[in-house]
Amino acid sequence: MGLSEPETLDVERIREDFPVLQREFGGERLVYLDNAATSQTPEPVVEAIADYYRHTNANVHRGLHQLSQEASIAYEDAHDRVAEFIGADGREEVVFTKNTTESMNTVAYAWGLAELEPGDEVVMTEMEHHAALVTWQQIAKKTGAEVKYIRVDDEGYLDVDHARELVTDDTEMVSVVHVSNTLGTVNPVSDLVDLAHDHDALAFVDGAQSVPHMPVDVEEMNADFFAFSGHKMCGPTGIGVLYGKEHILEEMQPYLYGGMMISKVTFEDSTWHELPWKFEAGTPPICQGIALAEACDYLDDIGMTNVDRHGRRLAEYAHDRLQEQGDVEVYGPPGDDRGALVSFNLGDVHAHDTSEILNEFAVAIRAGDHCTQPLHDKLGVAASARASFYIYNTEEEVDRLVEAVDSTRELFA
């Protein structure tokens, strides 16, 4: 694309790579503001998928024929590319999964079941996605460990003093979301990782909403585990990533068994393949992994600093415009201190009704609890409407959002 870190994104040029954005509904051009759930997929990534199936489709690590060799090399190279994108040491630290949720479950079952016991503690936050909250909650039930939650204050920030109280020498795992998918809060994960390590605990960071939007360096962050999904960062569905420090992954036992993850099998016992294949049982997401590597190239061509700046600018603009409406409640930190999303409610109108009316104006948002039911309980609402932004969105589209909210108000007046 040749964008090479400009001061502002050439959004119109970027939009050319996303034909879906040209669709119209009821004579209105689509405004896609549901990127926190799934981003759209650019043409170079679509072409990478098509090219694989047209020219290289074969299973990996199992065949000596040319197609299998080519697919294996491309799939292995994809691990290297993703490792580079997040600052990992190498492919040994990058496990491909289906999504962030499976990455969480891999650690919870492979590490948590073996290591946690009564008296141990897992510390999370009140803003965790169900992928983390439910997973550690259920593992705690199986092991007798206790789960504790760092408070979220009235502005949507973590209570760091409360975190220091909760994390003790009994803590074995601190699992925190990097960017809240409901509040937009960007958490001080490096500080929380340090806090965990001060008490000899491990730290797991949920990067589902950070890797697509900002530069991430897992080595600098020093997290023991880090997880994210391809479909939120211009990649395909069906591919997630689990980063783990190599020495920890070496010590962990797999929890999915079968083909490809083994080294030697007898009728009596089995031994495991080297990293990362030890955690990738069965036929892996070959095409998806290759396409995810292409998505990394695409985003790096734009520049992750630019992606971050653009998303935050749109979120601030949307936050401020919605705040101007006297009957709209916006959740989370101030507009100039949040990730690329805004959750809100219009007066007494249910978020589902807001979303349905906005859809009539071809404005696509998300409505519900965003897989953060306990957080919504804390906020005192059953659901919220969420507009989330990405590299192809514009201020004009935010204006369309606000206009649609105005029309919703008129309908329910």
What does the H/E/C string look like for the chain?
CCCCCCCCCCHHHHHCCCHHHHCEECCEECEECECCCCCCCCHHHHHHHHHHHHHCCCCCCCCCCHHHHHHHHHHHHHHHHHHHHHCCCCHHHEEEECCHHHHHHHHHHHHHHHHCCCCCEEEEECCCCHHHHHHHHHHHHHHCCEEEEECECCCCCECHHHHHHHCCCCEEEEEEECECCCCCCECCHHHHHHHHHHCCCEEEEECCCCCCCCCCCHHHHCCCEEEEEHHHCCCCCCCEEEEECHHHHHHCCCCCCCCCCEEEECCCCEEECCCCHHHCCCCCCHHHHHHHHHHHHHHHHHCHHHHHHHHHHHHHHHHHHHHCCCCEEEECCCCCCCCCEEEEEECCCCHHHHHHHHHHCCEECEEECCCCHHHHHHHCCCCEEEEECCCCCCHHHHHHHHHHHHHHHHHCC
C-alpha–C-alpha distance, residues 356 and 335, integer Å: 25
Q: Do the bridges between strand 225-229 and strand 240-244 make them parallel or antiparallel, or are there none, so unpaired?
A: antiparallel
Q: Is residue 332 part of a domain?
A: yes
Residues 368 and 245 in one domain: no
Report how far apart, in Å, the C-alpha atoms of 224 and of each of 138, 143, 230, 397 are: 21, 21, 20, 39
Residues 213 and 168 in one domain: yes
Query: Can you tell me the mean pLDDT for 105-113?
Result: 98
Q: Is residue 228 part of a domain?
A: yes
Q: Is residue 4 part of a domain?
A: no
Residues 280 and 139 in one domain: yes
Of 234, 287, 296, 371, which is the active-site residue? Answer: 371
Q: What is the pTM of this model?
A: 0.96
pLDDT at 3 over 60: no
The predicted pLDDT at position 413 comes to 77
The predicted pLDDT at position 2 comes to 37
| CATH code assigned at 19 | 3.90.1150.10
Residues 17 and 122 in one domain: no
| CATH code assigned at 213 | 3.40.640.10
pLDDT at 176 over 90: yes
Q: Is residue 223 part of a domain?
A: yes
The predicted pLDDT at position 63 comes to 86
pLDDT at 168 over 70: yes
Q: Name the least confident of 6-15, 59-68, 137-146, 247-256.
A: 6-15
Condensed to tens digits (0 to 9), the pLDDT of residues 262-312 reads 999 999 999 999 999 999 999 999 999 999 999 999 999 999 999 999 999
Percentage of the chain lying above the pLDDT 70 cut: 98
pLDDT at 6 over 90: no
Residues 89 and 151 in one domain: yes
Does residue 234 carry a catalytic annotation?
A: no
Residues 297 and 340 in one domain: no
Query: Can you tell me the mean pLDDT for 367-387?
Result: 98
Residues 76 and 208 in one domain: yes
pLDDT at 114 over 80: yes
- Are 370 and 343 in contact, with CB atoms under 8 Å apart? yes
**Total domain count, the chain:** 2
Residues 35 and 67 in one domain: no
Last residue of a domain, one of 286, 301, 316: 301
pLDDT band at 395 (very low <50, low <70, confident <90, very high): very high
Average pLDDT along the chain: 96
Q: Is residue 3 part of a domain?
A: no
Q: Is residue 320 part of a domain?
A: yes
pLDDT at 5 over 90: no
pLDDT band at 172 (very low <50, low <70, confident <90, very high): very high
Residues 177 and 324 in one domain: no
Query: Can you tell me the mean pLDDT for 155-178?
Result: 98
Residues 375 and 240 in one domain: no
Q: Is residue 5 part of a domain?
A: no
pLDDT at 46 over 70: yes
pLDDT at 185 over 60: yes
Q: Is residue 1 part of a domain?
A: no
Last residue of a domain, one of 253, 268, 301: 301
Domain containing 308 equals 11-41+303-411
Residues 243 and 339 in one domain: no
C-alpha–C-alpha distance, residues 204 and 193, integer Å: 8
pLDDT band at 7 (very low <50, low <70, confident <90, very high): low
Query: Can you tell me the mean pLDDT for 168-183?
Result: 98
Query: Which structure tokens are listed for 188?
Result: 């001080």
Residues 113 and 236 in one domain: yes
Condensed to tens digits (0 to 9), the pLDDT of residues 331-363 reads 999 999 999 999 999 999 999 999 999 999 999
Query: Can you tell me the mean pLDDT for 110-117?
Result: 98
Last residue of a domain, one of 301, 321, 342: 301
